[in-house]
Amino acid sequence: MKLHRIELRNFRQFKGTQIIEFSYSATKNVSVIYGENGRGKTGIFRALMFCLYGDRSLSQDELSGEKKREGLILVNEVMLKENKGEKIQASVTIEFSHGNQLFLIKRSISGLMKSDNSILQDYNQVELQLTDANGNTLPKETDPELIKIKIQEVLNSRLRDYFLFDGERIERLTRNTQERREEVRKGIRTLLDLDSMDLAIRGLDKLVSKIEKDIKYKSTGKLQRITELIHDLNIKIEELKNNQDYDIQESKRLEHNIKKISDLISENEETAEQERKRQELIKTKQEIKIERDQTKNELVEQLNRSCQLVASELIEQLQEALDFHREKGELPPAIRKEFIEKLLAEEQCICGTSLDHQHPSEKENLLLFMKKHFKLGLGKESEELLYKLNRISSTNELLSNAFNRLLMKNKKLNDEIDDLESKIKIIGDELGEGGTSVDDLIQERIKCEEDLRELEREIDRREDQIKKDEDDREDQRKEAAVLEEQQDHLKTLVAKRDLTKDTLLELKDIYGKFAVEIKKKLADKSTENFSKLADIETLKDIKTIDIDDNYMLDVLNWAGQRRLGEISAGQRQIVSLAFIMSLIQIAGDLEVPLFMDTPFGRLSGKHRDHLIETIPKMASQWILLATDTEFTAVEANVLRQTNSWGKIYELQKEEEGVTKVIERQVNEFIPKRKSIY
Amino acid sequence: MENNQTIEVILSQINDTSIRTVAEHALLSARKALDKPEHSRVKDVADEIDKIMPRALKARLKDETA
């Protein structure tokens, strides 16, 4: 989307008809709207949001309840006052291109000032004129719903908040508070479509359950009973997974808190050494936990192989009975007849002694053995059965040993984890009793760690339960699949369910990979942008921008320590801008104008210069809304040198409540102030 | 994942026609549903996906026959 032109008529401060033409070519993509505070710079963005989406307020107005529904007064109040009792029409018309199409959209609103000076606003009319890639102008569309769909296709309304950033919001975005972190998380998920994917997966999951329910109703006999079981398991697993997701998020939050508190504690020299020991113990504990989990998996595999152990006592008794009969010569020995016959034929004993005429007694012994034990003439199958039983009996011990070894290992690792946890707790308590200024932090961390331990146990337990239920469901599904084939009337439903399940698996796989890669990419791109925007001193403090598993933004210093809570407001602003730009870059086909309202307020000279030089290269279109105090001759000069500056408009006060838009020439424009100093 | 590869592009690269049809439709339905009230979103998406199933099943049958 590239903005070409906006026409304001009696909208907010803009009395009468006023026009701004934006610069939107590939080389000249910067437009500056210059004016003092209160002249209506934000009103330009407000007009854009009103025209595209019918918004009567912006999220930054922070209106709620009735006020949010009513919105702000959008019709010029001077006009309303001058024409009290008469309806005044206000409108915004925008011309923009998207892809190869040209859009002309106009939205109107009327207002009326009553005799008691209260104002009524009446929403509104909208019309859209489209010109296609071949230059054909299509019939004018006036259906608000169809226009809404068309505009959503160009720029989804959920993304609207990510293209206007005033200075305060830019700085606020990276404040170290849960609320702001949530805003960043939401931004990432919204812009990169992760929310849509998540919802698509949940929708497919729901459809699978729905189809299985239909199969349950339409099936008969045993299949019906199995499908009922599957249905119950579906409900149970869904509930377990919901709880698991919630607890995993909660544990991540706790881990993040613990890390944050630990960083703060580490800075205190008195406690640093103990803290270091504690961190080492925590690391060891994590490593042992990984080993314990692997052992648990091995145990499960071993258990699958060792099902015969269940009957080990019975096999032992049977073996004893067989040995008794063997000794009496009633059963053949545990050696195969064919083996003895082979030895005799080759005239070579198992010990290497030759069975020729020089050793007649050995040969005789073997012949006697044959005669005694194989005289009964048991059938081939019976002999085979005896050998198999013998083999099972001899492997039982091996299996049992392996199983016991894993059990012991699992127990040993669990003991080690318990031991480490108590050591960690002791050090934590000692740290808490130190009477230092970090007491409160330590107590807070102890509480977080206890909560986390409890949560991790619950997560482990639930994970086992989910696995067990899923295995159970899989077994039931396999059995059901065989029975389903016998019930012809279910064929279509079964095919539908299978396709839905296949799609679900594919989407889950794609989503998992995409989410991991996108986080890394976003962090790398943010770091890259940051290195272009920040000055040398800031780059010494901050090396990397990081996005954790929970989509939380942070900055790391040279030692990899998290430092978001400590950087200055100006540095935070640079981090925010680097991040915002990376979001837009990573979002791929998201070509949108980037509005920045007074972004330089907290920035030092070098940062301002870098920003002005870099943003035009990163954004497809940059609309800079600036005050006279921050867009001085210095900034104008830097922007001019980028050769990307195409338009400048000055907002001038004509009378109280009325602003005049005046176009100036970029090359001739001289800001009112020479510099910020 | 190549540079700036969106989810949409990744889905369009799914080889199996029937799975691709359902996956793309599920994503589109989810995007639309995000603007709707939260309590009915998942059900709306499931209902929308259900509508594309006859077409997707035909594609699967065609592939299997081929």
**A390-433 tens-digit pLDDT:** 777 777 778 888 888 888 999 999 899 888 888 888 887 777 66
**Closest to A443 measured CA to CA, from A453, A427, A429, A454:** A429
Do A315 and A207 fall within a single domain? no
A618 or A529: whose pLDDT is higher?
A: A529
**What's the confidence (pLDDT) of residue A677?**
59
pLDDT band at A102 (very low <50, low <70, confident <90, very high): very high
The verdict on A391 and A432 lying in the same domain is no
The closest CB to that of A588, out of B6, B19, B42, belongs to B6
Task: Calculate the CA dihedral of residues A498, A502, A504, A510 and round it to 10 degrees.
Answer: 180
CB–CB contact A158 B33 (8 Å): no
Q: Looking at the structure, tell me whether residues A280 and A355 fall in a common domain.
A: no
Exposed e or buried b for every residue in A621-643, given b needs 16+ CB within 10 A?
Answer: bbbbbbbeebbbebbbebbeebe
On whether the CB atoms of residues A1 and A592 are closer than 8 A, the answer is: yes
Same domain (yes/no): A479, A338: no
Residue A64 has pLDDT above 70, yes or no: no
Which residue in the set A152, A197, A500 is minimally distant from B7, CB to CB?
A197
C-alpha A44: how far from chain center: 34
Question: Which CA distances in Å does B65 have to A324, A496, B52, B60?
Answer: 63, 17, 20, 9
In the 3-class helix/strand/coil scheme, how is A254-321 assigned residue by residue?
Answer: HHHHHHHHHHHHHCCHHHHHHHHHHHHHHHHHHHHHHHHHHHHHHHHHHHHHCHHHHHHHHHHHHHHH
Q: Which residues make Cβ contacts (< 8 Å) with residue A248, sequence separation at least 6?
A: A459
A247 with A284, same domain? yes
**Tokens 């996906």 found at:** B49
pLDDT in tens, A463-484: 999 999 999 998 998 888 888 8
Predicted confidence band at A437 (pLDDT cuts at 50, 70, 90)? low
SS (H, E, C) A416-453: HHHHHHHHHHHHHHHHHCCCCCCHHHHHHHHHHHHHHH
Q: Do B26 and A152 touch (CB under 8 A)?
A: no
A263 compared with A437, residue with greater pLDDT: A263
Q: Give the structural domain span for A484.
A: 193-297+418-460+473-513
Do residues A488 and A506 share a domain? yes
Regarding whether A198 and A118 lie in a shared domain, the answer is: no
**pLDDT score for B2:** 42
For residues A206-225, average pLDDT: 88
Q: Tell me how far apart the alpha carbons of residues A54 and A109 are, in angstroms, rounded to a whole number.
A: 9
**Inter-chain touch B6–A589, beta carbons under 8 Å:** yes
Give B66 to chain A, closest Cα distance, Å.
17
Of all residues in chain A, what percent carry a pLDDT higher than 70? 90
φ, ψ of residue A526 to 5 degrees: the values are: -60, -40
User: Are A203 and B29 a contacting pair at CB < 8 A?
Assistant: yes
pLDDT band at residue A110 using 50, 70 and 90 as cut-offs? very high
Residue A27 and residue A93: Cα distance in Å, rounded? 25
Mean pLDDT of A267-296: 81
Taking a contact as any Cβ pair under 8 Å apart, which residues of chain B between 13 and 42 contact chain A?
Answer: 14, 16, 18-19, 22-23, 26-27, 29-31, 33-35, 41-42
Query: How far is the C-alpha of A554 from the C-alpha of A545, rounded, in Å?
Result: 6
Average confidence score pLDDT of chain A: 84
- Tell me what ipTM this predicted complex has: 0.95
**Chain A residues near any Cβ of chain B (below 8 Å):** 152, 156-158, 192-193, 195-204, 206-207, 210, 492, 495-496, 499-500, 502-503, 506-507, 510, 513-514, 517-518, 521, 585-589
Sheet order of strands, A101-113 included: A14-21, A2-11, A87-98, A101-113, A119-131
Question: Is there a single domain that holds both residue A150 and residue A106?
Answer: yes
Site from A202, A511, A518 to mutate, B interface, most B CB atoms within 10 angstroms: A202
With CA atoms as reference, report the closest residue to A216 among A502, A497, A465. Answer: A497
Cβ distance of A510 and B7 shorter than 8 Å: yes
- Residue A592 CB: number of other CB atoms within 10 A? 20
Nearest by CB to B57, which of A198, A495, A589?
A495
Cβ neighbour number for residue A586 with a 10 Å cutoff: 21
Flag whether A673 is in a domain: no
Contact A502 B30 (CB under 8 A): no
Residue A258 lies in a domain: yes
**Res A41 pLDDT > 80:** yes
Instruction: Mark whether A352 and A371 lie in a shared domain.
Output: yes
Helices and strands: H and E segment counts in chain A: 19, 13
Q: Over 80: is that where the pLDDT of A675 sits?
A: no
Q: What was the pLDDT predicted at A220? A: 83
Q: Please give the distance of CA A484 from its chain centroid, rounded to a whole number.
A: 38
Instruction: Tell me the three state secondary structure of residue A19.
Output: strand
Is it the case that residue A62 has pLDDT exceeding 70? Answer: no
DSSP string, B1-66: --TT--HHHHHHT-S-HHHHHHHHHHHHHHHHHTTS-GGGHHHHHHHHHHHHHHHHHHHHHHHHH-
Q: Which residues of A touch B19 (CB under 8 A)?
A: 499, 502-503, 506
Assess contact for A31 and A673: CB atoms under 8 A. Answer: no
Cα–Cα distance measured from residue A425 to residue A19, given in angstroms and rounded to the nearest whole number: 68
Phi, psi dihedrals of residue B48, rounded to the nearest 5° = -65, -45
Q: How confident is the model at residue B1 (pLDDT cuts 50, 70, 90)?
A: very low
Is A113 a domain residue? Answer: yes
pLDDT for B2-48, tens place per residue? Answer: 445 678 888 999 999 999 999 999 999 998 898 787 778 999 999 99
pLDDT at A231: 85
Could you tell me if A232 and A259 lie in one domain? yes
- Residue A623 maps to a domain: no
Q: Has residue A277 got a pLDDT over 50? A: yes
Is pLDDT at A581 greater than 60 in this prediction? yes
Alpha-carbon distance B24 to A193, whole Å? 13
Instruction: Label residue A218 by pLDDT band (50, 70, 90).
Output: confident
Please identify, among A451, A482, A513, the residue that sits at the C-terminal boundary of a domain.
A513
Interface test with B, best of A194, A204, A582 (most B CBs within 10 A): A204
**What residue type is assigned to position A352 of the chain?**
G
Q: What is the pLDDT of residues A225-256, one digit of tens each?
A: 888 898 899 889 989 988 988 898 888 888 88
Per-residue pLDDT for A434 more than 60? no
Given the structure tokens 């018309």, which residue do they identify?
A93
- A643, pLDDT greater than 90: yes
Task: Give domain status of residue A645, yes or no.
Answer: no
Instruction: Work out the angle at residue A53's Cα, subtended by the Cα atoms of residues A49 and A59, and round it to the nearest 5 degrees.
Output: 55
B7 touches chain A (CB under 8 A): yes
**Residue A378 pLDDT level (bands cut at 50, 70, 90):** low
| Position A517 pLDDT exceeds 60 | yes
Question: What is the number of domains present in chain A?
Answer: 3
What DSSP designation does A93 have? Answer: E
Distance between A146 CA and the closest CA of chain B, angstroms: 14
CATH code, A65: 3.40.50.300
- Within-domain flag for A385: yes
d(CA A316, CA A397) in angstroms, rounded, equals 11
Give the pLDDT mean for A371-384.
64
> Are A550 and A185 in contact, with CB atoms under 8 Å apart?
yes
In chain B, what residues touch A495 (CB-CB under 8 Å)? 57, 60
Q: What interhelical angle do A194-218 and A491-533 show, nearest 10?
A: 170
Regarding whether A387 and A324 lie in a shared domain, the answer is yes
Q: Among the three residues A352, A370, A400, which one is the final residue of a domain in this structure?
A: A400
Say if A15 falls within a structural domain: yes
Task: Say which of A156, A193, A503 has its CB closest to residue B7.
Answer: A193
Q: Are residues A357 and A440 in the same domain?
A: no
Q: Rounded to an integer, what distance in angstroms lies between the CA atom of residue A173 and that of residue A579?
A: 10
Question: Which residues in chain B are closer than 8 Å to A201, comparing Cβ atoms?
Answer: 26
User: What does the pLDDT average to over A343-361?
Assistant: 76
The answer, yes or no, to whether residue A618 has pLDDT greater than 90, is no
Q: What is the 3-state secondary structure (H, E, C) of A118-158?
A: CEEEEEEEEEEEEECCCCCECCCECCHHHHHHHHHHHCCHH
For A207, the closest of B5, B31, B46 (CB atoms) is B46
Q: What DSSP designation does A488 have? A: G
Does residue A508 belong to any structural domain of this protein? Answer: yes
